[in-house]
Chain A
Amino acid sequence: MAGFRYLPVTEDDRLAMLKTIGVADEEELYSDIPEKIRFKEGLKVEKALSEPELLRFFSGLAEQNISTSRLPSFLGAGVYDHFIPSVVDSVISRGEFYTAYTPYQAEVSQGELQAIFEFQTLICELTGMDAANSSMYDGSTALAEAALLSYGASDHSKIIVSETVHPEYREVLNTYAHGRQLEIVTIPSLNGMTDLKKLEKELDEETACVIVQYPNFYGQIEPLKEIEATVHRLKKAHLIVSSNPLALGLLTPPGVFNADIVVGDCQPLGISESFGGPHCGYFAVTKKLIRKIPGRLVGETVDEKGQRGFVLTLQAREQHIRRDKATSNICSNQALNALASSVAMIAFGKKGIRKLAEQNVQKAHYAVERLKKERLTIENEGSFFNEFVINCGKPVKEVNQALIKKGFIGGYDLGRDSASLKNKMLIAVTEMRTKIEIDQFAEALGGIVNV
């Protein structure tokens, strides 16, 4: 068939191949598909475009979106506008990486295997945990899988989750929990933090785990030390912490506070916002839970000549070996995005990751000062990382529409998740925002809110 640039079979090839197969025409190859279910019409898909037309068409669609490269953004809530070093895209554009699949054949996949081994190490370093897997779909599914792990390990079916965990993560958790018939108990928040008294009340012998976010959805730094002490009074209960990995460049890692499982999303580290995906979940555990971890793991070993090499290991946990008894059904993961995150983490380096996190803290705190000057009310005055909540006194949707006209992408409308948070806006300030942008944003917001 001439004209399709991805299809190399020519008419001559076709005839020769059919002859070798021993059939007169291609139809015979489909003789096992009953006539009744053969599809006779042409597929009703949109018409084909040449490469120049394709580029024009997609550029047109892309231009209809207001990108954060056009307007400064103060939107976060789980996805952030961070700097991505140029080396990241250069590495993940290598065909050897992005056109390969899961490294089943270790001898020709040492590059990917070693890259994953390095990723696992970087995640352990950030979280303070003993082992990390090769990635999960995203932070939300990683969190849900952590709950399933706890249930599997303890046989307890009560999952306690703080209301200060990302609302969409909690929704995903609910969906997963329904499949396994787990009970979800939500601990309400008090001044933007987990209500510890209520948490203590809910803990009982049926509890599989307690899930908190650090820093939490409102940007606040949860008191992990106190939470851990409360949770681990129960022998079997796991403490699961969902963390923005960039924040862990500066904050005491959950591993230091004896978390059992730490999960989150690597998007802040080298992965673009991309309208919500693909990002990259991470999953880290203590030594005790290694053999219960979901997904692929890479381990170090030696070859026949004693040379160091890397392989997929502990595969007896996985679906292709254990089938219905596997620790998870995950197969494809987010390997290329894990690679992107590795490159970013290495580019930042030991000092850079902290400096980056510090700039987020400083700029977000400056923004708070600046907004106070504009007579805006700041909620929850606890310690925070790079996000905080303000009260707009009017619907956030309206405020954001006005902000767009003034050239800013505003914050997240907390009212969409809870009526009690009506008019409250979650604002993120990353290292990407300059002082001038923050000043102008504060003035613009003040102008809109104080009318």
Chain B
Amino acid sequence: MSDQNQPLIFEESKKERVAFSLPEIDVPEKTLNSLIDDEYIRKNDPEFPEVSELQLVRHYMALSKRNFGVDNGFYPLGSCTMKYNPKVNEVIARLDGFTKVHPYQDESTVQGALELLYRLQVNLEAITGMDAMTLQPAAGAHGEWTGLMIIRAFHEANHDTKRTKVIIPDTAHGTNPASASVAGFEAVTVKSDVNGLVDLEDLERVADDHTAALMLTNPNTLGLFETHIQDIARIVHAAGGKVYYDGANMNAIMGVTRPGDMGYDVVHLNLHKTFTGPHGGGGPGSGPVGVKKELAPFLPKPLIIKKEDGTYGFDYDRPDSIGRVKAFYGNFGINVRAYAYIRTMGAEGLSQVSKDAVLNANYLLKRLSGNFDTPFKQFCKHEFVLSGSRQKKLGVRTLDMAKRLLDFGYYPPTIYFPLIVDEAMMIEPTETESKETLDAFADRLIEISYEAEENPEIVQEAPHQTVISRLDETRAARHPILRYQKPEAK
């Protein structure tokens, strides 16, 4: 990587350059003022850059070289499931019959799209053990909020309006309490015990007739299976609440166990994680929600159904539905990729995915456990959390070790999460990485642990090999510069 400053595209602009062509207008033209009131015609053109097509391409090529994806190298970002994104999925998702289809076309002209979505629903129901599914939510957090709104509607239908609280473990992803707030609930924390699992006594204490739901990923964010999940579900159900499965960690359990069999009532999946919809530099994702029969009437509308005559269509006639959560029918393009992935792997393949993900994680954990503190002793599932507390005593923080990994061409693990582990480093290798990659990564991280002892500065001052060094985040937040402005306009 070079350390040359990369100009903004606005700084490369020169008047009159174009990167776009339109046919000459072929209809008789009228003066704009005769069509639109002058007040509403823009006086100053937007300051868009004026560049040639090659300049545009080189600009983005240069930017791409300053970015790191799964295609570039190992990306063990915990809780994000950064697995390989199959190329064939990209080819399929770009077929004209999928991209150039309008959501309001007559049902008879989009039977292929509807059939695909219907089939995907059925497959996801089988994988999760749920009875009905919506593909409308656009991402995981959107699915969480949708699921909670469904639970809310259920309690409201029972006139059980005092249920204002959602129980969330202290290890949970930040979206869980945030989604609870947006759905109008109060987030209540349940503690974890020394084994990193939900503390049953504390759960008994917080679960009461104000409980609307419990949100819990399983395996949890520490990568540990909630062994007592049936007891957890029993306690919450006895209090009258529903149990919500955050599907962020579904990659660990496909074919091994199903949320529907563990006692969960609602599930969301992250198709961009487990089912290879690419992460896209932050999105788009897709966050389908599955529910048990009892909650099905409350699913968002429309639902995609197979009719008696064998054709597919939309069901809008759902009086108890929470309504729409998004315009149209969800992130169709991501759903296409997820379905292509499921059809590539099949039942045996998906089970193998989870087995290999768990094997890879336990192998890497074992390889690193001599040099780093491991707060929990049981086997992990698809990911695990190390603590950098030993290195912290030497003056080397987890952040430093993460930055040092950048020097060797690795994207760092998730750091400082979950919040209950000091100097946390959350590692998720995924099943698409080879033993050689895991060994090389483990060797490197172990070497960094030795550097922390012998030559801490090299870690503390990392990264050394990237296009820029550590950035001044305080300055960015104190004096926010969120857009480019022409020098004279500043």
Contacts and interface: CB of A to CB of B under 8 A. Distances in A.
Given A307-B3, A336-B280, A178 B97 contact: no
B178 A326 contact: yes
Nearest to B82: A101
A277 B332 contact: yes
Interface in B178-195: 178-184, 186-187
Interface stretch (A28-36, A193-201, A203-211): A28-36
Contact of B111 (A29, A64, A333, A351): A64
B200 interface: no
Given A168-B324, A314-B480, 12 more contacts: A6-B83, A7-B356, A22-B366, A36-B230, A61-B116, A110-B63, A251-B42, A252-B42, A274-B99, A304-B469, A325-B181, A326-B178
Nearest to A172: B324
Contacts of B272: 332
Interface in A30-51: 30-34, 36-39, 42-49, 51
B268 interface: no
A320 interface: yes
B177 A324 contact: yes
B174 A319 contact: yes
B3 to A, nearest CB: 7
Given A65-B113, A107-B406, A111-B65, A409 B22 contact: no
B256 to A, nearest CB: 6
Interface in B337-392: 340, 342-353, 355-356, 358-360, 362-363, 366-367, 378-379
B100 A333 contact: no
A347 B19 contact: yes
A249 B42 CA distance: 8
Contacts of A179: 145, 148-149, 152, 182-184
Interface string B49-64: 1110100110011111
Interface stretch (B70-78, B203-211, B289-297, B444-452): B70-78
B401 interface: no
A111 B187 CA distance: 37
Contacts of A300: 476, 481-482
B279 A100 contact: yes
Q: Which of A69, A332, A354, A435 has the most CB of B within 10 A?
A: A332
A224 B281 CA distance: 36
Interface string B430-442: 0111110000000
Q: How large is the interface on A (under 10, 10 to 19, 20 to 34, 35 or more residues)?
A: 35 or more
Given A311-B473, A359-B25, A346 B9 contact: yes
A43 B45 contact: no
10 contacts: A14-B359, A37-B262, A42-B348, A45-B126, A110-B467, A274-B332, A324-B187, A332-B279, A334-B283, A345-B48
B48 A350 contact: yes
Contacts of B362: 17, 21, 29
A91 B60 contact: yes
Contact of A1 (B20, B95, B127, B352): B352
Interface string A387-403: 00000000001001100
A67 B97 contact: yes
Interface string B310-340: 0000000000001111111111111010001
A32 B334 CA distance: 33
A139 interface: yes
A176 to B, nearest CB: 7
Nearest to B410: A108
A44 to B, nearest CB: 4
A117 B483 contact: yes
B22 A355 contact: yes
Contacts of B85: 98-99
Contact of A45 (B26, B112, B346): B346
A31 B358 CA distance: 12
Contacts of B104: 75, 77, 79, 412-413
Contact of B100 (A8, A45, A69, A112): A69
Contacts of A225: 39
B57 A6 contact: no
B282 A171 contact: no
A430 to B, nearest CB: 11
Contacts of A30: 225, 256, 358
Contact of A18 (B123, B342, B350, B359): B359
Nearest to B195: A32
B353 A7 contact: yes
Contacts of B72: 95-96, 99
Contacts of A404: 106, 109
Q: Which of A57, A351, A412 has the most CB of B within 10 A?
A: A351
Given A29-B362, A65-B113, A435 B27 contact: yes
B397 interface: no
Interface in B63-120: 63-72, 75, 77, 80, 82-86, 88, 90-92, 94-106, 108-113, 115-116, 119
B359 A9 contact: yes
Contacts of A120: 482-483
Q: Which of A57, A58, A329 has the most CB of B within 10 A?
A: A329
B477 A336 contact: no
Contact of B325 (A21, A172, A280, A324): A172
B47 interface: yes
Interface stretch (A82-90, A229-237, A443-451): A82-90
A383 B36 contact: yes
B320 to A, nearest CB: 13
A190 interface: no
Interface string B211-242: 00000000000001101011000000000000
